[in-house]
Amino acid sequence: MTPSELTKILANHKLWLSDPTTGQRANLYNADLRNANLRSADLRNADLRNANLRSADLRNANLYNANLYNADLSSANLYNADLSSADLRNDNLKNADLKNANLYNADLRNADLSSADLSSADLRNADLRNADLSGANLSGADLSSAKYGDELLLKYYTVGPIGSRNDCLQVFITASRTILKTGCFTGTPNDLAARTDRPDYKAALIFISTMEKELRK
């Protein structure tokens, strides 16, 4: 898609948002938008299913309620973007910059968020079932009432830096289970205890156990 074609689509979409009887909703289904400049673009309610947005610049873009099902957003810059209520199922968000992004109530089922930067992102009420968060940076993110596995998250936090690689240990606590992630490891506290006898991990596991008991009272 050429820049002039994209500009025309965005202009018509802006008219449509103001008055549905004028303009036209952005139909970017299966569009090739690799490296596209969509900074601060208003794409509320747009159709971006299967779009290739690899390495696109979407900083400060408004994608509220947009349909991004099965889109490729790998390495895209989504800093401070509004993705609230967006359909991001099956999306490739590997290495994406989602710092400070609004993902409130977003549907991220089966999304690949590996190595994505989600620091300070708003993930309240987001659906993260079967999402791949391996290596993702969730420091400062708000995951209140997010769905993880088949349950709501009671608490998410990080412990660290810890271990020989000075990595962060991610802790996901639901009503019935606790999942830990660090580096290539994903498992329960018992799984981690069986794999290491490092004093720093032992101290972390004691802290996690105390937190579990408080949350599940």
> The tokens of 151 are what?
């349950």
Q: What pTM, to 2 d.p., does this model score?
A: 0.83
- Are residues 141 and 64 both part of a single domain? yes
Q: Looking at the domain assignment, is residue 93 inside a domain?
A: yes
- Are residues 170 and 82 both part of a single domain? no
- Are residues 140 and 78 both part of a single domain? yes
pLDDT digits (tens, 9 = 90+) for 86-116: 999 999 999 999 999 999 999 999 999 989 9
- Per DSSP, the three-state class of 56 is coil
Q: Which domain holds residue 113?
A: 1-16+30-147
Q: Looking at the domain assignment, is residue 80 inside a domain?
A: yes
Q: What is the 3-state secondary structure (H, E, C) of 139-165?
A: CCCECCCCEECCEEEEEEEEEEEECCC
pLDDT digits (tens, 9 = 90+) for 51-90: 999 999 999 999 999 999 999 999 999 999 999 999 999 9
Q: Looking at the domain assignment, is residue 22 inside a domain?
A: no
Strand partners, 179: 172
Q: Looking at the domain assignment, is residue 21 inside a domain?
A: no
| 206-210: Cβ within 8 A, 24+ apart | 207/159, 208/159, 208/171, 208/178, 208/180
Specify the number of domains making up the chain. 2
